[in-house]
Amino acid sequence: MSRNFTIGWRCSPLVYVSIVAALSAPFAASVAVANPQLMSEVDTQAASEVSYANFQQWLRDFRLYAAGQGISEATLSNALDGVRYRERVIELDGYQPEFVRPIWEYLDTAVSSTRITNGQEKLADHRDTAQQMEQRYGVPAEIIVAIWGIESNYGSNFGDFSTLESLATLAYDGRRRDFARGELLAALRIIDQGDIAAEDMKGSWAGAMGHTQFIPSSFEAYAVDGDGDGRRDIWDSIPDVMASTANYLDRAGWQTGQPWGIEVRLPEGFDYAQTERRSSAEWRNQGVQAQQGELPNFDSAAIVVPAGANGPAFLVGANFRAILRYNNATSYALAVATLGDAIAGREGIQHSWPRDQAPLTRDDVQELQRALNRVGYSVGGADGVMGPNTRQGLRNFQRDQGLIPDGFATQELLEQLRQRSQ
């Protein structure tokens, strides 16, 4: 949480990982609440049709529901008494940047020299803990530290919003009300279990918490007591932070001893329309070569060209996919991977990025999607996000026009589509 890097709902990468689970646990209609209609809604569209006189009425209804789900009265009082509607949260929830940020601009910030240096210092400060978690879960210490750096700049910026107020506000008035309601209930369970006091549950405006930005449902599923004190504390315990992060990646399919991937050189005439995973041997037979050294021995790997044929190319395996489970964005996974490499002292990306390409605005992407639909390349709704359907439709268009089908959207391609769709 992937896509070209965009700013929107996400403040936690785990929001996207857990949304399906959250949506699968809707409010039970049988619970006796002040407004049973709301508490039985299963999707955002239906929820949006329900109105409340005010936030406090909604909160009273939710409190009755939470009690019916087994949350203790003591927790409900400690957690929900005095909870406020936060207008700033709704402002941030509705924010959509004008420009879709190019991946090289994102990486310039995410893998800056300062972040690399700070990451090396953090690894040195917590080396014993990081190595312990590496031995326990098989995830390299530098990758654990890299996620820490990307998510909260090593704990310097994981947010000071009350998680309860953020989620209650989003559940009442946000774009994903059903999802936020599920996360709010998960937050109450965490408090009820004694992992954190209500007043100490802090994080981003979107409900992501702690050093490595777990949302409540992901905390329940993956957080680990790393220091043995009987609590899972991703706010103040670095052993818990590192153990929880490593456990998440381990559960996501991390393969011990394998690299995340490698930068590669693609042969002349390479078919960029290939989206299937193949073994390293199969890619080697097509002429794919490592930029430096030899290709890793992957059983199942994909070629990734996040900036099209004129940018760097990567062969990525199971561990890259594990990082994508943390946040399903190629830009995010590449940032974690390359920051980890840099922290460990390995070389970074060799091929230059096509920095001369003007970024598309969100409106541009919507226009591109509508144009693709009009000329017969169905990509779904025009949401302004360069998701997999849009990229596949764009690849098909490029192929039919005799262009390199790399799925990379440019102003030039947009202009061609404008002319074709008129």
Which of 38-47, 65-74, 228-237, 321-330 bottoms out in mean pLDDT, i.e. has the lowest? 38-47
pLDDT digits (tens, 9 = 90+) for 118-170: 999 999 999 999 999 999 999 999 999 999 999 999 999 999 999 999 999 99
Q: Tokens 């329309």 — which residue?
A: 273
What is the structure's pLDDT at 33? 37
Q: Token pair for residue 87? A: 């207008």
Residue 176 has pLDDT above 50, yes or no: yes
Parts of the chain belonging to CATH 1.10.8.350: 14-96+159-222
What is the structure's pLDDT at 15? 37
**Helix or strand or coil: residue 161?**
strand
Residue 213 has pLDDT above 70, yes or no: yes
> What is the enclosing helix (H) or strand (E) of 113?
helix 113-125
Residue 185 has pLDDT above 80, yes or no: yes
> What is the enclosing helix (H) or strand (E) of 284?
helix 280-285
What is the structure's pLDDT at 51? 53
Topology classification of domain 362-421: Muramoyl-pentapeptide Carboxypeptidase; domain 1 (1.10.101)
What is the structure's pLDDT at 7? 30
Dihedral angle sign, alpha carbons of residues 167, 172, 173, 178: positive
Query: In this structure, are residues 189 and 71 in contact, taking their beta carbons and an 8 Å threshold?
Result: yes
DSSP string, 246-283: HHHHHHTT--TT--SEEEEEPPTT--TT--S-B-HHHH
pLDDT digits (tens, 9 = 90+) for 316-364: 999 999 999 999 999 999 999 999 999 999 999 999 999 999 888 999 9
What's phi and psi for 250, nearest 5 deg? -60, -45
For the annotated catalytic residues, the residue numbers are 151
Residue 211 has pLDDT above 90, yes or no: yes
Q: Which of the four pLDDT bands, split at 50, 70 and 90, describes residue 28?
A: very low
Q: What does pLDDT average to over the chain?
A: 88
Which of 37-41, 90-94, 177-181, 206-210 bottoms out in mean pLDDT, i.e. has the lowest? 37-41
DSSP 40: T
What is the structure's pLDDT at 50? 47
Q: How far is CA 47 from each of CA 44, 175, 176, rounded to the nearest angstrom? A: 5, 10, 9
Q: Token pair for residue 163? A: 């998680």
Residue 47 has pLDDT above 50, yes or no: no
Q: Tokens 């996207």 — which residue?
A: 16
Q: Which of the four pLDDT bands, split at 50, 70 and 90, describes residue 52?
A: low
Average pLDDT value for residue range 362-375: 95
pLDDT digits (tens, 9 = 90+) for 249-274: 999 999 999 999 999 999 999 999 98
Residue 26 has pLDDT above 90, yes or no: no
DSSP string, 65-101: HHHHTT--HHHHHHHHTT----HHHHHHHT---SB--
Q: Token pair for residue 126? A: 């917590």
The amino acid that residue 111 corresponds to is V
Residue 180 has pLDDT above 50, yes or no: yes
**Helix or strand or coil: residue 339?**
helix
The yes or no reply on domain 14-96+159-222 and CATH 3.40.190.10 is: no
Residue 19 has pLDDT above 60, yes or no: no
**Helix or strand or coil: residue 313?**
strand
Q: Measured between alpha carbons, how far is 127 from 111 in angstroms, rounded to an integer?
A: 20
Parts of the chain belonging to CATH 1.10.101: 362-421
Residue 100 has pLDDT above 50, yes or no: yes
Residue 24 has pLDDT above 80, yes or no: no
Burial of 381 (0-12, 13-18, 19+ CB in 10 A): exposed
Q: Measured between alpha carbons, how far is 286 from 266 in angstroms, rounded to an integer?
A: 9
What is the structure's pLDDT at 40? 44
Residue 284 has pLDDT above 70, yes or no: yes
What is the structure's pLDDT at 126? 98
Which of 44-48, 337-341, 378-382 bottoms out in mean pLDDT, i.e. has the lowest? 44-48
Average pLDDT value for residue range 296-323: 97
In 20-73, which ranges are E strands?
A: none
